[in-house]
Structure 1
Amino acid sequence: MNTFYVLLIFQVWNYEFYSYPVDVWAFGISIYNIITNTWPIVHASQERQIAHTLRGDLIFGNLFTPAAADLITRAVQPKPEERWTVSALISHEYFHGLRDPFPAPYSPSELVEMYSINNSMLDELTFIQDTVARLP
């Protein structure tokens, strides 16, 4: 069972609501997975996997820069109130070198022509493009 589902099960067991801190946690786990191509918390015993997840046990090897390890650590705090917010994570030093935006391969209007996208989808694509362009 992957760790994202384990976290969701914890929230159900503890009668907690799913909210942004879960997304932040999943983001941290996903960054770990992108860097290593493995999941950070895996154990043959489901009970031990749950215990490791609750404690936030992560091992950072030599694939991680100090900034990457720090970003992930701040995102995967076991207590939701101790996790950084999305805006704090976006401004983390890990992303400083990634600030140069890449030009979009297609404009929203080109996508409409290519895929017959309806107006509501076009509005959403334009919103996403504008949001990404405003990132610091």
Structure 2
Amino acid sequence: MATSEESFLARRIDGAAAPLAVVDLLALAAVLTIGVINHNSVGYLSADPAGWLLTLVPFLVGWAVAGPLIGAYSAGAAESAKAAIPLAIRAWIPGAVIGFALRASPAFSGGFQLTFGAVMLVTGGLALVVGRWLFFKIVG
């Protein structure tokens, strides 16, 4: 007999949605990398790859926690853009908040500013929407 925890996770994660996880991680990494380049330069990516990656980590961790819990990879997410996009938006909000909290902690540099939060909330959400929309346009 499955425990309630196993049932909860089983309803939130479907193997058919695995390609969406790749799309989402690429979309978030792309928008974060564009931000790093805008605030530094393209040369920063090779000059300080650890700094670049540490910029991505808080938000990728936030997404990795919130995405599955909210259902961004549930069976419904794998069916259509109409189902997948709202799930991504719903999951991005708490995922971004987790990223903001991590970034504001002593474990990561950069801190948190309200304008950064607003920009990241919008651009991260937009990246997820566009990524998932393109995925379903290409894959069908």
TM class, shorter-length: under 0.3
Answer with 1 or 2: which has the greater Rg: 1
- Larger RCO (CA within 8 A; separation ≥ 6): 2
Name the TM-score, length of structure 1 as normaliser: 0.28
Compare the two structures and name the one with the higher helix fraction: 2
